[in-house]
Amino acid sequence: MRSKLFVPGSRPELFAKAMASEADALSFDLEDAVDEARKGEARRELAKFLRTLPANCGKTIIVRVNGIETAHFEEDIAAIVGPGLDLVNVPKPESPDDIREAAGVIYKAEREAKVAEPIGILANIESPRAYRLAAEIATADPRVKGLQVGWGDLIEPLSMDRYNPAAIEAMLVWIRIAAGEAGIFAYDGAFANIKDVEGYQREAEMSRRLGYLGKSAIHPSQVPLANAVFRPTDAEIAHSLKVVEAAAKAKAEGVGAFTVNGRMVDGPFIRRAEAILELARRLGLITKDERSIE
């Protein structure tokens, strides 16, 4: 999920175009992108579209619903739950209890819709309190698969400079560690200045170095930028292939730690190399059985 493209739920004419895009994931938005007067209409249109999607449609399908404190939340969940939905993006949770409440509503909707595969939760970190409790939110329920930074809601009310790299990096680190405690992914939020291509790339590169899975895109032009940044490099793939090959040899010889290209390697480095190769194979960068790269 290198890239995740936001799609307003009130713009059904964009749904098919988004499905045809290069984005790894689509985040259909019933919250901030939809005017209050059109919430019901957007919900109905999106539900109709989701019913046409099979499971494993080739993209990760996410819906950002309205917050649990709103009158729309349960109606949103009831409308969107189905085999074509992978993640519910829960906005503005303030505590682990909010996540557990959301999980209960999703579970009820799954039972009523006879959905066998549990739908995950992508929890937004969008307030100072949520930021402080990020690890507790991440570990609140097994349905939580990832934490996502909500830059606008988190930063703007504090009068912080959105484009201060030092501040952004510090917050990214905190949320990544919180996600790591739960063993789930961390996902970078939106970059509002669509024309600032270099700024988007810099921020994406920062989050990738910190172990983020990918970055949101609010415009189709940002999708290829995210895809390029979060693609494993040829050097990373080549090194990972060597690590995995050396690890198999070391295991056969009963060796715990070893070196590859002058770098010490043990368990955590092997797992990282395996994850890089898994992504490379999924993207078609190497074959299933490939042992080397030019």
Q: In 3-state terms, what secondary structure has residue 126?
A: coil
What's the pLDDT tens digit per position in 83-140?
889 999 999 999 999 999 999 999 999 999 999 889 999 999 999 999 999 999 999 9
The number of CA neighbours under 13 Å toward the Cβ of 255 is 13
Q: How far apart are CA 81 and CA 87, in angstroms?
A: 10
Q: How far apart are CA 122 and CA 104, in angstroms?
A: 15
Whether 7 and 28 have beta carbons less than 8 Å apart is answered as: yes
pLDDT value at position 289? 66
* Dist CA 202 CA 229 (whole Å): 9
**Rounded CA separation 203/171 (Å):** 12
pLDDT computed for residue 291 by the predictor: 55
pLDDT of residue 213: 95
Identify the pLDDT of residue 292: 47
**SS3 of 29, please?**
strand
Residues contacting 263, CB < 8 A, separation 6+: 269
Contacts 24+ apart (CB under 8 A), 175-180: 175/125, 175/131, 175/134, 175/147, 175/149, 176/210, 176/211, 176/212, 177/135, 178/125, 178/134, 178/135, 178/137, 178/138, 178/147, 179/134, 179/138, 179/146, 179/147, 180/211
Asked if residue 186 lies in contact with residue 211, where contact means CB atoms within 8 angstroms, the answer is yes
57 φψ region: left (φ > 0), alpha (ψ -120 to 50), beta (else): alpha
Q: How far is CA 217 from the centre of its chain?
A: 11
DSSP strand pairing (263-265 vs 185-187): unpaired
Q: What is the per-residue pLDDT for 274?
A: 87
Given this model, what pLDDT does residue 6 score?
96
Ranges of residues in the chain whose predicted pLDDT is under 50? 292-294
Which of 56, 50, 141, 44 is closest to 90 using CA atoms?
141
